[in-house]
Structures are given as C-alpha cells and as structure tokens.
C-alpha cells in the first residue's frame, strides 16, 4: 500500500481535563480571528496557484507552503477544539511545522501538476468526496409540513453538525462523567478528519493524487511512515513580515472582487437607462375596488433635500393600465386628506419591487365617490396622465393614483424611476478602485513572497587542524 502524499497524524494526550472542553470555544477565539484572515489569503492564493498551474504546470513553492501552513494551523486548532478534543495543549501560532504538537499535517510538494486536471478536479472529480465529507463535517435533517391552513407548506431544516461533531460531543460527555476518551471513538474521529483533510488538499490543487475511498482510522497513517521522503526543493519559511504582507495583499485583492462586482452592477444599471435617462424598477401590480390609492406620508426635511436630490435626481412614477386612463398626482398631505375626506380609498402600507410573490398590503378607508375628478384640484405639486415627473422638494407629501374620471376599481402596474446622476461617476470610481486594490494586493503578495526565506543548511564543520 502506497502512502498518500497528505499525511495526517495525531496522538491522544491523556489524561484530558474533564471540563476544559466546555470553554475551549472561548480559549480558541484568538485562533479563530487569525484563521479568518488566513483563510481569505488561502482562497486568494489558491486562485493565483490555479492560473500558475494552468500555464506552467507548477504550484509556486512559496504559495504552497503558505497554504500548507494554513491547513496545518487549522488542523491543530480543530484537534484542540471540537474537531477531535484530542489534547489540552494550546495550539501554537505558527504556519510552520510543530513536530512536538500532538497533531501534525504534512503534504508532499508536487514537482509537477497536470495543467488539464486543474480545470476539473476541484469541482467535478471531487463531487463524490464532497458528499462524503459533507456527511462527516456538516448535515441537516429536512422535513416538510404541508398542512398549513392556506394550503401551503414550510420546509424545516435542523443542522446537526455532521458525524464528527456528533461523535466528539459523545466523547466530551464521556470525558465529563468518566474522565476517559473512548479510544474507538477517537480512532473513528481521526479517520474522518484525515479523509476531510485529504479532500481539502486535493480540492485546493495541492496534489493530483486522487483521495482514496477508505477510512484510515487511528492517529497514524497506514502504512506508517517513520521518515517522509525529502522534498527536492527546500521548504519556504514565512516570517511575520511575509505573513502580514500576504494576508493584507489577499484582503486587498478580495476587496477588489467586491468593488468589481459593485462596479459591474452599477454599469448594468447605467446601461438600463431609458432614452430619457431614467433607471426604473420592475413593475408591481396594485389594485383596489375603491376610488383611490394613496401612499403613506412622504416626509422630506429641508436640510436633507439637497442630498436626496443629488442622489435620486428627477423622480418619475409610471403606471400602466388597460382600463380607464389613470391620474397620478403628488400633493401636500393635508390637502390630499381634505380632498379624500369621506371618500373610499386604500392606503398602500407595503409595496415591494422585484421578483417574488406579490406582498402588497393596504389599509381600507371606507367612503363614497369624490365630489370632483382629481385633475380639477389646484393643490397638486405634480400631476400626469399615467405618469408624473417630480423634482424633490421639502414637505409632507402623499402620492395619489385614481381613475381620471374618479370612478371606482383601479388596477395597474406601477414603476418608480430616477435619473441617479451619480451612477456614471460611481461606476468609473469603482473600477478605478478595483484596479488600485488589485495592483496593491498583488504587489503586497509578491512582496510577501520575496520576504520568504529557505532554511539555512547546517554548515559542515571541518575537522580542526592539529596544532604542532
């Protein structure tokens, strides 16, 4: 049997404290914070390694050893905490090997990787292993209740933490009441962790050797290797400066992804402008058997109106109806309430634009027909037939939609539009920021790689020359 190039070993350090596991989540918080940043760097460097392998067939050694260090660190913390609870010794804060710690991880550096395999191994080929590892590390119980009064149903899921979490919980309870870690459980937990770490190394491109479908239980590899083969290239050591530079660079590169996505979205919005320069929402159906539809009070303070104008620009309210022509108006709240006093109308209390079910909500105000059509009133600030445009002004406003002849029953699709004058500038600045973040991030990563150093080989001491 050939030893797999990902070697996961551990030893159970007994006796273990009966109750320390209860607070290990708190003790490990510093590690969780550091690992949060390290895993962002891990993801960015894996993407860089992907392209390096695709074009050269090699995984850059400095990136390989950094990512190996992140996996080592993660495994040591998991072993200390709820991935195994196999030791009470606090994990070291280091990316390098810690051979004296009871949990170790080594991955043979691949001299060459397949340029074609890198395209499919991390998703297509690894799917069977993802299903198994998902069972080991996470899981959920799914149930469906379909007997609700409205005829619908609800999907319930209960996350239970996977087999590893369940077995470690059982081991923790054994520890609490007996002071002993069941060795059978320990061997099984270590086998599942070993499987998960092998798949992690394969999926993150660190080896081309397909993970075996076997559960190698216990703390030692089978067959156990007393001395792993020496790599053909000396491993790279990452000092504090190198780690900080790579992590900060990765965070900047990760931020560039966010600004690029936001910039692309703003560019799409800018391109969606109509010929008159408006960006519009999707249509939302509104309807009522009453004589009018109104909105809640729209309060705009005098101090903030300039900021709001600079944000929205000109505002347009559009409606489309196949029935009676519609009147759309916006006026002072007090005047609108006076006009609609004694009139039957619905006030819209919730209106959501976008895909999904119609969840528009109304409040009914009983009454009869208005005495005069809406267009005969003189208090309107802006009106239109089917649509209106409005320059935002300070005050308390109400929007009213009615049939132009003041007849009952209104049904229409309504859209809100605005010119958003800042959109083009935002798009440009976001793409500039993307370039700055990306260049800065890649530059810091390269600088961090240059700060790495290979261990100095031990000097060969010549025999002292005898003195005559």
How far, in Å, CA of 159 to CA of 347, rounded? 42
Q: Which of 76, 92, 105, 84 is nearest to 9 (CA)?
A: 105
How far, in Å, CA of 407 to CA of 153, rounded? 39
Q: Is 29 buried (19+), middle (13-18) or exposed (0-12) by CB count in 10 A? A: exposed
* Tokens (6 digits) for 112: 């060459």
- DSSP per-residue string spanning 22-45: GTHHHHTHHHHHHHHHHHHHHHHH
pLDDT the model gives residue 64: 96
Tell me the per-residue pLDDT of 360-394, one tens digit each, with 9 for 90 and over.
889 999 999 999 999 999 999 999 998 999 988 89
pLDDT the model gives residue 148: 47
Q: Is 144 buried (19+), middle (13-18) or exposed (0-12) by CB count in 10 A? A: exposed
How far, in Å, CA of 409 to CA of 403, rounded? 8
- DSSP per-residue string spanning 388-419: EEE---SEEEEEEEEETT--S-EEEEEEEEE-
Backbone angles phi, psi at 12, to 5 degrees: -80, 120
pLDDT the model gives residue 151: 47
Task: Return the residue matching tokens 């860089």.
Answer: 48
Q: Are 260 and 431 a contacting pair, CB within 8 Å?
A: yes
Give mean pLDDT in consecutive 10-residue pieces for the chain, a chain of 468 residues: 86 94 96 96 95 96 95 97 96 94 96 95 94 83 48 50 88 94 93 96 96 91 54 67 90 91 89 83 89 90 78 89 88 94 93 68 92 94 92 91 93 91 90 95 89 55 44
Tell me the per-residue pLDDT of 426-453, one tens digit each, with 9 for 90 and over.
999 999 999 999 999 999 998 988 887 6
| CA torsion through residues 383, 389, 393, 394, sign | positive
Residues 6+ apart with CB under 8 A from 310: 421, 422
Residues 6+ apart with CB under 8 A from 241: 448, 451
Residues 6+ apart with CB under 8 A from 72: 95, 96, 97, 98, 104, 105
pLDDT the model gives residue 282: 84
Rounded to whole angstroms, the maximal C-alpha distance in the chain is 129
pLDDT the model gives residue 93: 96
């Amino acid at each position: 049997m050939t030893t797999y190039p990902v070697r996961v070993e551990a030893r159970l350090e007994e006796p273990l404290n009966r109750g320390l596991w209860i607070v290990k989540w708190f003790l490990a918080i510093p590690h969780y914070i550091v690992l949060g940043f390290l895993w962002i760097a891990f993801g960015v460097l894996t993407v860089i390694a992907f392209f390096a392998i695709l074009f050269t067939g090699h995984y850059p050694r400095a990136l390989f050893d950094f990512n190996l260090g992140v996996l080592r660190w993660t495994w040591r913390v998991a072993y200390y905490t709820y991935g195994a609870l196999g030791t009470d010794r606090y994990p070291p804060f280091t990316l390098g090997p810690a051979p004296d710690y009871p949990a170790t991880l080594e991955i043979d550096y691949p001299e060459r990787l397949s340029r074609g395999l890198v395209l499919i191994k991390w998703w297509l080929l690894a799917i069977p292993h993802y299903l198994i590892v998902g069972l080991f590390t996470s899981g959920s119980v799914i149930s469906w209740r379909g007997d609700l009064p409205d005829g619908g149903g609800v999907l319930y899921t209960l996350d239970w933490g996977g087999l590893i979490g369940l077995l470690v919980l059982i081991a923790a309870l054994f520890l609490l009441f007996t002071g002993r870690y069941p060795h059978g459980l320990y061997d099984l937990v270590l086998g599942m962790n070993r499987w998960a770490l092998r798949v992690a190394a394969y999926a993150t491109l660190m080896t081309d050797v397909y993970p075996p479908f076997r559960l190698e239980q216990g703390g030692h590899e089978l067959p156990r290797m007393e001395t792993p083969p020496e790599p053909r290239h000396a491993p790279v050591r990452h000092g504090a400066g190198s780690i900080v530079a790579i992590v900060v660079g990765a965070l900047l590169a990760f931020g560039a992804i966010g600004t690029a996505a936001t910039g692309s979205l703003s560019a799409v919005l800018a391109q969606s402008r109509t010929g008159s320069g408006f960006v519009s929402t999707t249509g939302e159906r509104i309807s009522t058997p009453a004589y009018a539809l109104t909105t809640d009070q729209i309060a705009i303070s005098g101090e903030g109106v300039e900021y709001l104008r600079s944000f929205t620009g000109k505002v347009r309210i559009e409606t489309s109806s196949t029935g009676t022509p519609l009147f759309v108006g916006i006026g002072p709240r007090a005047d609108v309430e006076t006009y609609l006093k004694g009139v039957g109308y619905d006030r819209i209390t919730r209106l959501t634009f976008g895909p999904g079910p119609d969840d528009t909500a109304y409040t009914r105000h009983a009454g009869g027909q208005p005495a005069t059509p809406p267009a005969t009133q003189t208090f309107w600030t802006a009106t239109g037939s089917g649509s209106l445009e409005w320059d935002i002004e300070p005050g308390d406003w109400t929007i009213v939609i009615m049939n132009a002849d003041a007849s009952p029953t209104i049904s229409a699709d309504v859209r809100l539009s605005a010119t958003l004058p800042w959109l083009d500038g935002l798009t440009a600045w976001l793409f500039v920021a993307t370039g700055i973040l990306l260049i800065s991030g890649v530059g810091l990563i390269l600088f961090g790689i240059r700060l790495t150093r290979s261990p100095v080989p031990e000097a060969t001491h010549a025999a002292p020359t005898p003195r005559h």
